[in-house]
């Protein structure tokens, strides 16, 4: 396998020194959907030392058109994306230390993952205590991106924003202390509109955003700071439009995330919703307060089964049909309720089934 990285090493800006820098780095990817599976595969093939992936969802048939790590078998088994991704990535490159967490990217979890590596007491997810060098955004919602932005500023870790919908995509690289942050950009760029997949999406738009994010990631991992793109890039592959906006003047000294007196507003747990309508999915996520020890899925499955509900389960989750909706419950107590956009209806179904 000594030839494994030969083509990447032959590329002069990387070389053998760059390759060993890549090997020394720990990359965190938030989301294992379309962007996340592509970025994770590129980082794994490039030979990063350690990769941590966080995803809250499981594989469905509608993912297969663009989420390159998953197969029909993953759909049949209703595997969580994190579990399916970890299995596939380990088969691609066994030298990379891969940890995939089936979890919602909450501020608490991010503090534990990123803060632990930043020198404080090691959290339960810090593993080897290897600090995180780079965060890749592969989420599908505004709230999580703004939270990643605050985490990046608080712990001074670069992150790469990426989003796509339809045939349109965009990306921006944020280096704390150097570039404006995502919060600074809100006045100039319509980022909030880029969070929903109701307009559908084509795989090449995903691939293009992954290419932009992964190229920036390699530059950061080999510490070629001169090469890092400073502009905000966007494109529409169907309309053949490409543009880069200069952002050097966008940095706001009064910004609450990266300014002179930051408060990191998006890390405030009270600002985070506990139940959310998932974009374009006709699905509500319910996230209960953190419970000690989590949920015993076997006990729950047999009690729902004895009440006459149709229950399907695997080691990670349980799926139950209820009055025209389908609830999928994870071991941490979190649930996805499919077939409704109504938060109150979803909450009451959750409470009825979980007691």
Nearer to Zn ion, 184 or 320 (CB): 184
Q: What is the DSSP string of 145-159?
A: HHHHHHHHHHHT--E
CA dist., res. 117 & res. 130, Å (int): 6
Tell me the number of residues near Zn ion by CB under 5 A.
6
Binding residue for Zn ion, selected from 52, 171, 234, 257, defined by CB under 5 A: 257
Among the residues of 67-194, which ranges form H helices?
A: 72-76, 81-92, 107-110, 116-117, 142-155, 182-185
Dihedral Cα 73, 76, 78, 79, nearest 10 deg? -10
Q: Which range of residues in 22-30, 131-139, 257-265, 314-322 is near Zn ion by CB under 5 A? A: 257-265
| Rg value, the chain, Cα | 20
Chain residue at closest Cβ approach to Zn ion: 255
Rounded to whole angstroms, the Cα distance separating 41 from 25 reads: 15
Question: Of 253 and 308, which has the nearer Cβ to Zn ion?
Answer: 253
Cβ 180 to Zn ion shortest distance, Å: 6
- Min dist CB 174 to Zn ion, Å, is 9
Binding mask 158-187 for Zn ion (x = CB under 5 A): -----------------------x-xx---
C-beta closer to Zn ion: residue 172 or 235 = 172
Residue 127, both tokens: 């593993």
Q: For residue 59, give the nearest of 93, 102, 1 by alpha carbon.
A: 102
Sign of the CA dihedral running 142, 146, 151, 153: positive
Of 156 and 351, nearer to Zn ion (C-beta) is: 156
- Write down the least CB distance from residue 159 to Zn ion, Å: 12
User: Which span sits near Zn ion by CB under 5 A: 226-234, 253-261, 297-305, 317-325?
Assistant: 253-261
Q: Please tell me the total number of residues recorded for the chain in this structure.
A: 355
Instruction: Supply the minimum distance, in Å, between the C-beta of residue 146 and Zn ion.
Output: 11
Half-sphere exposure in the Cβ direction for 11 (13 Å, CA): 12
258 part of the interface to Zn ion, by CB under 5 A: yes
Choice between 54 and 185, CB closer to Zn ion:
185
Q: Which is nearer to Zn ion, 44 or 183 (CB)?
A: 183
Angstrom CA distances, 106 to 55, 116, 235, 310, 354, stand at: 11, 15, 30, 31, 22
Q: Which of residues 23-42 bind Zn ion (CB under 5 A)?
A: none
> Shortest distance, CB of residue 162 to Zn ion, whole angstroms?
18
Site residues, Zn ion (CB under 5 A): 181, 183-184, 255, 257-258
């Amino acid at each position: 396998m000594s030839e494994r990285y030969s083509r990447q090493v032959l590329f002069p800006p990387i070389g053998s020194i760059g390759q060993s820098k890549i090997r020394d780095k720990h990359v965190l990817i938030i989301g294992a959907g379309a962007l996340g599976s592509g970025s994770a595969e590129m980082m794994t093939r490039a030979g990063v030392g350690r990769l941590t992936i966080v995803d809250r969802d499981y594989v469905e048939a509608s993912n297969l058109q663009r989420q390159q790590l998953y197969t029909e078998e993953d759909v049949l088994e209703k595997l969580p994306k994190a579990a399916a991704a970890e299995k596939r990535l380990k088969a691609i490159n066994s030298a990379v230390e891969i940890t995939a967490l089936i979890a919602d990217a909450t501020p608490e979890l991010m503090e534990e993952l990123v803060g632990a590596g930043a020198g404080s007491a090691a959290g339960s997810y810090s593993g080897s205590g290897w600090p995180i060098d780079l965060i890749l955004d592969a989420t599908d919602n505004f709230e999580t991106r703004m939270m990643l932005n605050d985490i990046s500023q608080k712990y001074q870790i670069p992150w790469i924003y990426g989003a796509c919908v339809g045939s349109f995509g965009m990306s921006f690289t944020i280096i704390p202390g150097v570039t404006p942050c995502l919060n600074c950009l809100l006045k100039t760029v319509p980022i909030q509109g880029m969070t929903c997949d109701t307009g559908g999406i084509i795989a090449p738009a995903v691939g293009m955003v992954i290419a932009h994010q992964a190229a920036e990631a390699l530059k950061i991992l080999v510490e070629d700071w001169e090469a890092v793109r400073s502009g905000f890039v966007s494109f529409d592959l169907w309309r053949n439009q490409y543009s880069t906006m200069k952002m050097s003047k966008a940095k706001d000294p009064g910004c609450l995330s990266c300014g002179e007196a930051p408060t990191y507003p998006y890390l405030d747990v009270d600002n985070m919703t506990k139940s959310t309508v998932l974009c374009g999915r006709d699905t509500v996520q319910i996230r209960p307060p953190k419970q000690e020890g989590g949920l015993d899925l076997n006990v729950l499955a047999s009690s729902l089964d004895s009440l006459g509900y149709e229950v399907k389960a695997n080691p990670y989750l349980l799926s139950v049909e209820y009055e025209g909706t389908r609830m999928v419950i994870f071991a941490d107590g979190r649930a996805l309720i499919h077939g409704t956009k109504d938060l109150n209806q979803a909450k009451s179904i959750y409470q009825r089934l979980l007691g």
